[in-house]
Amino acid sequence: MSNPVLDAIQNRRSVVRFEETPIDEEKIKAILEAGRWAPSWLNKQPWSFIVVTDQKIKERLSEVVPTLFTLGLKEAPACIVIAVDTKEEPHHFIEDGAAASQNMALAAYSLGLHSCWIGIYDIEGQKGSAEEKVREILEIPKAHRVISLLPIGRARHKIQKKERKNLRQLVYRNKFGKR
């Protein structure tokens, strides 16, 4: 079975290097709308999205993310930071932020762009963590947690198709272990 949503899910790939070609503001807005429409626990919508296009700020962010993402974060014309308010939703804020991140990554792909989910959330909230440094750089309040960064742009290189496990390896019926 094929449809546009399933095609986007199956063909979207994480891209770590980007062309520096600017992104049309209309596409950024569409990506943000996709995040806004993500499901959230009791429809709390505890997220905030920070669109970073300033090169100096992107360079500062690139200094605190894992090395694999440093160049891509600098190159991408835009980066959307997904933060969630833990006071607004203290129990399911991680899932809510993850759903918004996924919606935006799929929307970017559907618009002919690429992204890379940089998971920055530090489960233990340690002092000096990458998440804390991102919060400091972007002046995000302490009650908010940063779930992810999504650099967005056009892929610098050809995207390679990746294989997935067969459903037979993943799916059980009625009880775990029952095929």
Strands (E) in 2-143, as ranges, are 47-52, 78-85, 114-115, 118-119
pLDDT at 172 over 90: yes
pLDDT at 90: 96
**Which residue's structure tokens are 């991140």?**
101
User: What are the sequence ranges of the domains in the chain?
Assistant: 4-170
Q: How far apart are CA 104 and CA 111, in angstroms?
A: 11
CB 111 within 8 A of CB 64: no
Digit-coded pLDDT (tens) for 94-142: 999 999 999 999 999 999 999 999 999 999 888 999 999 999 999 999 9
pTM for this structure? 0.94
Fold of the 4-170 domain: NADH Oxidase (3.40.109)
